Chains A and B, each alone.
Chain A
Amino acid sequence: MKNFVPEEIVVERGSEGSLIYRNLRLALPQVPLRLVEDISTANGNGDFGAAKKTLLLARHKGEFLKKCPGSEGQVCCNYYVVNFASNCSMDCSYCYLQEYLAQNPALKVFSNVDDLMAEADNLLTKHPRFFFRIGTGEITDSLALDPYIGFAREVVPFFAQQPNVLLELKTKSDCVDGLLGLDPRERVVVSWSMNPQRVIDTDEHGTASLEERLRAARRCQEAGYRLGFHFDPMIEYPGWEDDYRRLVEEIFATVDWRRISWLSLGVLRQTPGLKRTMRERFPRTELLTGEQVPCPDGKLRYFQPLRVEMYRKMFRWIRRQAPTVKIYLCMESKEVWEQVFGYAPSCEKELGNQLTNFGF
């Protein structure tokens, strides 16, 4: 994986005393740094690609934790997200952040990690009977910036001590060095978005190769972490079956499936707005040539019989290798769940509980 190096670091006054600031300075001494009074003046000119070249560091003034918004009318997995950063150093052509962060595309890391952990502590203590799944990869990659900011080193020991949470660190990178010396105590799942190398080459710009992701997963497993894999977005193209079947085989040849907490499946989806952005930013991508139709939640997906067939095939290939591993669909309707698995969770709590229950 080619290391991302920002062209400039811009720090809002008040963040210079933070641990993240110190880590950044140690890891990137060669990168010019500018101190500003108000970070909003350095938020970029709205160009999504250009915004990734500058790394901003500032305090987060709102709440860190929130419920994953899911998608209207779709089965939800009762997931919480904590946003320690905004935007991503990588540049996948299908990335929904291109639309979600269009008005605020700055690549930003929040310096007040203590506040983040205090907020999480408050939530977990208030609801001791509820088992939370919390992820950090909603509006950023959980680990791509970790070699510079050392976020994982701060939060993993905290979450490892909590009795009622699983922290998921979701990534397309191989930046796991910072995790390896820590003891996750079965409370941290490191997960990868997976696609065949062909898709990585054409549409996952700046991410780790398949081989690098697999090697990183193996290292995490050996260090005591539970693993997750997200086949999301699955892309349909001539020959996809051979590529995805081989991908599944490679994963299970590399890691022990009994240490996998969950696998998810989701097909390529985008709003019409994101489609326009993808056309502008990646005019040669073939992702938009698939047979996608509008769905009730406003997103475009492969037409239902086609994507159900894709899910069913993946399910079969996975089951051959891992008979009991938990598999769920991301952002799909009850009808699709029923067609793929023969059942749909009755409510989001049921699915959330299934995913956290792996027999401690």
Chain B
Amino acid sequence: MYRLALPLKIGENHLRDLMDWLEEISLRDGLQVRRILGDGSIGALESDPRLGRADRLKRIKEQIRRLRFPRLAQTEDSIRARIQELKLQPEIRLTVPAGLEGGRLRIEFDAASQDELQRLIAKLAEATGKEAVREIFAMLAGRTAEDK
């Protein structure tokens, strides 16, 4: 951990999160923290020359979060993939809350004119009928095959 923390100059809050997560992964998986940090994906981020210090910390923290919360991360990925499938314009943003708490999909628009707004709403209305949207809400509501 020291080897990781020193070059990244990790602040107190980030350090506490990381240490908690690593300790919990260690307890859950019966692995030493050294082994967890030796995971190939973390090593690759540590040595990636394209990343600055802040980006490196952000990406490493996200990777450790994904190890700590694998099913949450998987659900988030699946929802993100469904949102991509909708192929909406960048002016329409669909997001889900942190930790998926609340079970709601947030929709934001940016429009510079009435015409544009109408066009975006039409595009969104078309998207709402797609299977991907049904699947997003099903995932937010924790629905499994047994619920069908």
Contact = CB atoms under 8 A, between A and B. Distances in A.
Interface in A301-321: 303-309, 312-313, 316
A339 B70 CA distance: 23
Given A291-B72, A312-B142, A335-B104, A303 B99 contact: yes
Interface in B62-84: 68-72, 75
B142 A288 contact: no
Given A305-B75, A306-B142, A339-B142, A293 B28 contact: no
A122 interface: no
Is the interface on chain B under 10, 10 to 19, 20 to 34, or 35 or more residues? 20 to 34
Contacts of B70: 291
B110 interface: no
5 interchain residue pairs of minimum CB distance: A293-B99, A308-B142, A305-B142, A289-B28, A309-B142
B103 A303 contact: no
Given A291-B72, A312-B142, A339-B141, A305 B100 contact: yes
Contacts of B28: 286, 289
Contacts of A309: 142-144
Interface in A213-271: none
Contacts of A293: 69, 72, 98-101
Contacts of B27: 284, 286, 288-289
A295 interface: yes
Is the interface on chain A under 10, 10 to 19, 20 to 34, or 35 or more residues? 20 to 34
- Tell me whether chain A's interface is mostly helix, strand or loop, or mixed: helix
A294 B141 CA distance: 17
Interface string B3-32: 000000000000000000000110110000
Given A286-B28, A339-B141, A306 B71 contact: yes
- Tell me whether chain B's interface is mostly helix, strand or loop, or mixed: helix
B48 interface: no
A296 B101 contact: yes
24 contacts: A286-B27, A288-B24, A291-B68, A293-B69, A293-B99, A294-B99, A294-B101, A303-B71, A303-B72, A303-B99, A303-B100, A304-B99, A304-B140, A304-B142, A305-B100, A305-B139, A308-B103, A309-B143, A312-B142, A312-B147, A333-B102, A335-B102, A335-B104, A339-B103
Contacts of B115: none
Contacts of A308: 103, 141-142
Nearest to A236: B71
B126 interface: no
| Interface-centre pick from A293, A295, A305, A306 (highest chain B CB count, 10 A) | A305
A304 B69 contact: no
A75 interface: no
Interface in B89-111: 98-104
Interface in A11-56: none
Contacts, number: 69
A336 interface: yes
Given A286-B28, A339-B141, A304 B103 contact: yes
Interface in B108-147: 139-144, 146-147
Given A289-B28, A303-B69, 15 more contacts: A286-B27, A288-B24, A291-B68, A291-B72, A293-B72, A293-B98, A303-B75, A303-B101, A305-B139, A306-B72, A307-B142, A309-B144, A313-B146, A339-B141, A339-B142
Contacts of A289: 24-25, 27-28
A335 B27 CA distance: 32
Nearest to A333: B102
Contacts of B142: 304-309, 312, 339
A272 to B, nearest CB: 10
A359 B144 CA distance: 36
Contact of B103 (A284, A286, A312, A336): A336
Nearest to B23: A279
A241 to B, nearest CB: 10
A291 B69 contact: yes
A304 B146 contact: no
B64 to A, nearest CB: 14
Given A296-B101, A335-B102, A335-B104, A305 B69 contact: no
A293 B68 CA distance: 11
Nearest to A295: B101
Nearest to B28: A289
